[in-house]
Amino acid sequence: MIDMSIFREYDIRGIYDKNLTKDIVFGIGVLLGEKIKKNGGKDICIGYDARIHSPIIYEWIKEGLSSKGIKIYNIGLVPTPIAYFTTCNTIDSITSPNSIMITGSHNPPQYNGFKITINAKPFYGKEIKELGNELLNHPIIYTCSLSKDYHINALETYKDYLVKHFSSLKNFPYKIILDYGNGVGAIGMEDILDQLNIQHYSLFAEPNGNFPNHHPDPSEEKNLSDIKKHMKQHDISIGLAFDGDADRIALLSTNHIYKGDELAILFAKNLKKSNIDPLVIGEVKCSQIMYDEINKIGKSVMYKTGHSNLKVKLKELNAHLGAEMSGHMFFNDRYFGYDDAIYAGLRALELFLSHTPEQIESIINNLPRMYSTSEEKIPATEENKFLIIEELYQFLKNPSEDFPKIIDIITIDGLRIIFKEGWALVRASNTTPVLVTRFEAQNQEKTNHYKQKLLGVIEHIKKNI
């Protein structure tokens, strides 16, 4: 029986040999092969991350794709952005708009999955759900044909591209530290840093799918304890941390960890210095400060959470930059519009060519002061999480007298409730059975007040549905 929960909003992800079995992975390959041929395609580039079962899953999906006559280009053990890179560039005389990255991203070691690009566009949302339903209604059994694949050196082409692109960073004036979390980021980044003669100190650079040192998720501060400790010990003022497949970045300086929306402000200001009026897309979880600050020098657009959503919107609006709180950064300015932590890390280093680390910190410290919570999750079920959001929306349209005065309700992705002195966000996660919340206001007291009132309503709804 197929576990439909693996077919998520942004990608396909499950547990190896439990709900990502040989038959299911093969079937996914067969159906993707049919879709590629329907779009006039004939080939695909496939890469994989450091998880110990990634090469096995590669063989399974390769067989499924090959059964439909799709030619397979194996790009090997690489960061996720290199799979995207192949759809925008010619590699060894090969140009293909299709790619699959086999990765569990920042999930625990037993997870794996697929980030898919078809015809140079993210394969996500409705398309993934339809593929899952098709496989549910018409199961496919694995058959082995010992199909052939062809190796192309996407990694070297990618590194050469970035070394040329960032020639201004040659002999960078500061030593930096990097925490790869035993993911695949070092495979791309280390040679680039060496060729640019950037002095660096690297933590956990060896890919290891068991992630023996810490969980490879830089959006959680507890996973940054090692890099923070080494920055202090070695008197290094700039740090970069990567997630497992190197499509999310964290920037650290001596006294600050930069959130995704803060990075967006810094990058937008740098664009303005180049006489570009920045157009920036942020997700619904980003601080109001980000939108206000960017609107002073350009234009900001609020949109749905999710790397696939942001990539599509970025291209639709031809925006310069997109940002998620979690560290997905999307550059359409000077780049191809997808989330690449290696590229974003190098763009972050460019900030320090004209400012010291202390000056960068002061730019953020001098922003208007708001008090915000980190992303908090409320347990729900796949069946009731969207129902809770709908019931909450009905309440908010006619709230009780003791509820804070509502100025507006933004329904782009869940509910972003605008109050007189702040806002609250409640949205159903597209990947797990939880509600995601975030609160922000002009002072701590108001933040707590909005949080208390809204969570009280949510708990009441949960008890009565």
CA distances from 42 to 14, 45, 95, 96, 130 (A): 27, 11, 11, 8, 22
pLDDT for residue 294: 98
DSSP per position, 163-219? HHHTGGGTT-SS-EEEE-TTSSHHHHHHHHHHHTT--EEEES-S--TT--SS-S-TT
- The CATH homologous superfamily to which domain 166-365 belongs is Alpha-D-Glucose-1,6-Bisphosphate, subunit A, domain 3 (3.40.120.10)
Q: At a CB cut-off of 8 Å and minimum separation 6, what does 386 contact? A: 428
Domains 4-154 and 371-464 share a fold: no
CB atoms within 10 A of CB 104: 28
CA distances from 114 to 122, 273, 421 (A): 11, 38, 42
Q: At a CB cut-off of 8 Å and minimum separation 6, what does 346 contact? A: 162, 165, 166, 169, 192
Which residue among the candidates 66, 105, 219, 326 is catalytic per the annotation? 105
- What are residue 355's phi and psi, to 5 degrees? -140, 145
pLDDT for residue 145: 86
B/e letters for 405-441, b = 16+ CB within 10 Å, e = fewer, are eeeeeeeebbbbbebebbbbbbbbbbeeebbbbbbbb
CB 46 within 8 A of CB 102: yes
pLDDT for residue 295: 98
Residues 243, 249: Cα–Cα separation, whole Å: 7
**Ranges of each domain in the chain:** 4-154, 166-365, 371-464
pLDDT for residue 382: 83
Give the right CATH number for 371-464 from 3.30.360.10, 3.30.310.50, 3.30.460.10, 3.40.50.720: 3.30.310.50
* Among candidate residues 154, 36, 178, 53, the one with its CA nearest the CA of residue 103: 53
CB 282 within 8 A of CB 290: yes
pLDDT for residue 374: 87
Q: Is 249 helix (H, G, I), strand (E, B) or coil?
A: strand
- In 386-433, DSSP assigns E strands to 406-410, 415-419, 422-428
Q: At a CB cut-off of 8 Å and minimum separation 6, what does 59 contact? A: none
Q: At a CB cut-off of 8 Å and minimum separation 6, what does 434 contact? A: 377, 378, 379, 380, 385, 428
Judge whether 105 counts as a catalytic residue: yes
Four-point Cα dihedral 259, 262, 263, 267, nearest 10: 170
Mean pLDDT by 10 residues, the chain (465 residues): 90 95 98 96 97 97 97 98 98 96 93 97 96 96 91 98 98 98 97 98 97 94 97 97 97 96 98 97 97 98 95 97 97 98 98 97 96 91 92 96 96 97 94 91 96 96 90
pTM: 0.95
Write down the CATH number for the domain with range 4-154.
Answer: 3.40.120.10
Please write the tens of the pLDDT for every residue from 31-55. Answer: 999 999 999 999 999 999 999 999 9
pLDDT for residue 4: 92
